């Protein structure tokens, strides 16, 4: 029988001892002590230690919790829709503010402008109100010794021929005096002729005389004084022809002056014709003051 070396046996015993927990020489291991440690001989303290009084400030007591806020009332459908609606940007407000003005201009552009009357009586009334009424009064009653009366037929008595009145209004009192002309209307006037040195100064109105009125305005204001203020009847036998030729809306003399085809000073030689094509007889007005002419017999 083969002899096992001693060192192999020793290694085998050590290995078995590791696996079984027994000593390598076969002795039983010492039993572990299971006895409990002896109880402490010091008696337990059972009396409670006295409480240390609290000498600090009194503690705060928390107040009651605030009531919970009520739930917000839901928006009405109208308000909710308004909040959802897209707002107008602030930069667009300037353009929107101009919308009324644009609308007004648009309507005006589509609306035909009213027709402006350009007949002699309409223009004459405007000139008289702005220039002559301050002295002769709005109704032509005059101002005593300062300005003569024009109403109640007084103009027609002084100037039976419209050309003499146009000339006097154009040149005024001072220019008549400078020319040595003492009577500016009908020398045979009922009640006596009007003289240039008997009343206040009538200022010149025509442009050549130093005034500001055009030939059209002078003719128009004379028509207004004769047919509106003094009361000439445009349909009467005495004044119908004069009115149609000088003061009507279709007046050929007014149309010629308005078109600047002639001037007041040159009317007598302008060859103006009436509606039937007949030449209109016009007394010379001229370019300077001149004595008045008597009424036709």
Least confident of 90-99, 163-172, 275-284: 90-99
> What is the rounded distance in angstroms from the CA atom of residue 210 to the CA atom of residue 188?
30
Please answer whether residues 229 and 139 qualify as being in contact, where contact means their C-beta atoms are separated by less than 8 angstroms. yes
pLDDT higher than 70, residue 6: yes
For residue range 180-218, list pLDDT tens digits in order: 999 999 999 999 999 988 777 899 999 999 999 999 999
Confidence (pLDDT) at 273? 96
pLDDT higher than 90, residue 176: yes
> What is the rounded distance in angstroms from the CA atom of residue 141 to the CA atom of residue 149?
5
User: 126: Cβ–Cβ under 8 A, 6 or more apart, which residues?
Assistant: none
Entry pTM: 0.63
Residue ranges and CATH numbers for the domains of the chain are 120-269 (1.10.760)
User: 143: Cβ–Cβ under 8 A, 6 or more apart, which residues?
Assistant: 135, 136, 137
Which range has the top average pLDDT, 9-23, 30-44, 155-169, 200-214? 155-169
Q: Is 284 left (phi over 0), alpha (psi -120 to 50) or beta?
A: beta
For residue range 17-36, list pLDDT tens digits in order: 777 766 655 555 544 444 44
Least confident of 2-11, 96-105, 180-189: 2-11
For residue range 257-271, list pLDDT tens digits in order: 999 999 999 999 999
């Amino acid at each position: 029988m083969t002899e096992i070396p001693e060192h192999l046996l020793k290694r085998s015993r050590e290995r078995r001892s590791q696996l079984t927990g027994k000593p390598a020489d076969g002795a039983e291991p010492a039993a572990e002590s299971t006895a409990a440690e002896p109880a402490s001989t010091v008696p337990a303290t059972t009396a409670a230690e006295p409480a240390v009084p609290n000498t600090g400030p009194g503690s705060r007591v928390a107040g009651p919790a605030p009531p919970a806020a009520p739930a917000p009332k839901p928006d009405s459908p109208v308000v909710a829709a308004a909040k959802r609606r897209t707002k107008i940007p602030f930069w667009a407000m300037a353009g929107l503010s101009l919308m009324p003005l644009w609308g007004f201009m648009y309507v005006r552009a589509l609306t035909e402008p009213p027709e402006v009357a350009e007949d002699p009586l309409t223009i004459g009334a405007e000139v008289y109100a702005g220039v002559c009424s301050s002295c002769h009064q709005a109704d032509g009653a005059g101002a005593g010794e300062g300005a003569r009366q024009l109403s109640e037929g007084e103009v027609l008595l002084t100037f039976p021929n419209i050309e003499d009145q146009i000339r006097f209004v154009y040149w005024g009192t001072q220019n008549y005096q400078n020319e040595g002309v003492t009577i500016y209307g009908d020398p045979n006037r009922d009640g006596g002729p009007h003289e240039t040195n008997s009343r206040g100064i009538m200022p010149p109105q025509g442009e050549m005389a130093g005034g500001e009125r055009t030939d059209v305005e002078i003719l128009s204001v004379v028509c207004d004084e004769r047919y509106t203020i003094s009361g000439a009847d445009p349909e009467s036998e005495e004044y119908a022809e004069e009115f149609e030729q000088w003061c009507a809306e279709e007046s050929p003399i007014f149309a010629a002056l308005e078109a600047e085809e002639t001037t007041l000073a040159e009317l007598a030689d302008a060859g103006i014709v009436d509606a039937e094509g007949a030449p209109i007889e016009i007394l010379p007005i001229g370019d300077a003051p001149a004595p008045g002419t008597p009424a036709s017999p």
